[in-house]
Amino acid sequence: MEMEVIEIKTAGVEPDVHELIRRRWSPRAFADRPAAPDVLRRVLAAARWAPSAYNEQPWRFIVARREDPEAFDRLLACLNEGNRRWAQRAPVLMLVLARRTFSHSGAPNPHAWYDTGQAVAYLTLQATALGLYVHQMAGILPDEARRRCAVPEDYDVVIALALGYLGDPAQLPEDLQARERSPRTRRPLTELAFEGRWGTPARFLMQEDGHAS
Ligand SMILES: Cc1cc2nc3c(=O)[nH]c(=O)nc-3n(C[C@H](O)[C@H](O)[C@H](O)COP(=O)(O)O)c2cc1C
């Protein structure tokens, strides 16, 4: 069952993209298997080594494991209802925060969210390398999160994420099962990248027959 889902989700991804990127996707069904402390340390260490403007490292993580029901329920209560439906079975939830200001000057840091997203991307790929999956969620209750988790004033609540091993989609409500099995789609590269100026097709994306690859 697990392999079937992985194959569907990998099928449409270009074979020459790195295996870690091919394997990553955002599941809603998580196995009832905890993430070991060393796994958590390693995914957070990966986030730590992401680049950031002025090396500010504005990202912060509040981690809750299912083994700690008080902390887990607190984080669960920070998700919107739609996400709570499935994220309640993940072994780990994290709240992702970004410091709004530079620590050296106190000036606003306009790159804080950009850098934080990059750190989460690092965390996600490290998790993939360790056989785990991450599902990010913008569907959160930021005010609730700030209050319940004592988030300091100078930090934005950016997203939450669920982390764990792949589970059986049959455990999900029916509407979510279909999404778990649906193929992944992406915009064509020619819509995402131009050459030299906006709108000019990138020649390096054209095949020899003149068609976009
Ligand atoms: C910033 C961000 C916010 C997201 N918010 C949610 C969310 O609230 N609920 C959800 O089920 N998925 C959420 N997702 C997952 C996306 O829907 C998913 O990444 C996208 O459909 C691509 O699918 P894939 O990650 O499996 O390739 C979010 C992803 C990101 C990066």
25 C-beta closer than 6 A to ligand 1: yes
In DSSP terms, 92 is beta-bridged to: 65, 163
What are the Cα distances from residue 12, in Å, to 21, 127, 192?
12, 21, 17
Q: Of 26, 80, 158, which is best to mutate to test ligand 1, by the most ligand atoms within 8 angstroms of its C-beta? A: 26
Angle 98-96-145 from CA coordinates, rounded to 5°: 100
Q: Of 120, 136, 161, which is best to mutate to test ligand 1, by the most ligand atoms within 8 angstroms of its C-beta? A: 136
Query: Looking at residue 1, what is its pLDDT?
Result: 43
Query: Looking at residue 3, what is its pLDDT?
Result: 45
Report DSSP state, residue 198: T
Lay out the sheet containing 133-137: strands in order across: 59-65, 92-99, 155-164, 133-137
Report DSSP state, residue 183: P
Q: Which residue reads 């390693």 in tokens?
A: 42
**What's the whole-number mean pLDDT along residues 85-93?**
98
What domains can be seen in the chain, in order of their start residue?
Answer: 2-182 (3.40.109.10), 185-213 (no CATH)
- State in Å: Cα 161 to ligand 1 middle: 10
Helix (H) or strand (E) holding 104: none
Other beta carbons within 10 Å of 161: 22
Query: Looking at residue 5, what is its pLDDT?
Result: 56
Query: Looking at residue 135, what is its pLDDT?
Result: 98
Q: What is the mean pLDDT of the chain?
A: 94
Residue nearest to atom 12 of ligand 1 (CA): 137
184 C-beta closer than 6 A to ligand 1: yes
- pLDDT surpassing 70 at residue 4: no
Query: Looking at residue 11, what is its pLDDT?
Result: 74
Instruction: Tell me the chain's radius of gyration from C-alpha atoms.
Output: 19
- pLDDT surpassing 50 at residue 124: yes
Model confidence pLDDT, tens digit, residues 154-198 = 999 999 999 999 999 999 999 999 999 999 999 999 999 999 999
The answer to whether 96 and 166 are in contact (CB under 8 A) is no
Query: Looking at residue 10, what is its pLDDT?
Result: 81
Nearest to 33 by CA among 90, 76, 71, 95: 90
Structure tokens at 138: 């913008």
Atom of ligand 1 nearest to the CA of 120: 31
Confidence of residue 98 (pLDDT cuts 50, 70, 90): very high
Confidence of residue 213 (pLDDT cuts 50, 70, 90): low
**What's the whole-number mean pLDDT along residues 139-158?**
98
Query: Looking at residue 14, what is its pLDDT?
Result: 85
Q: Which residue reads 């999160």 in tokens?
A: 145
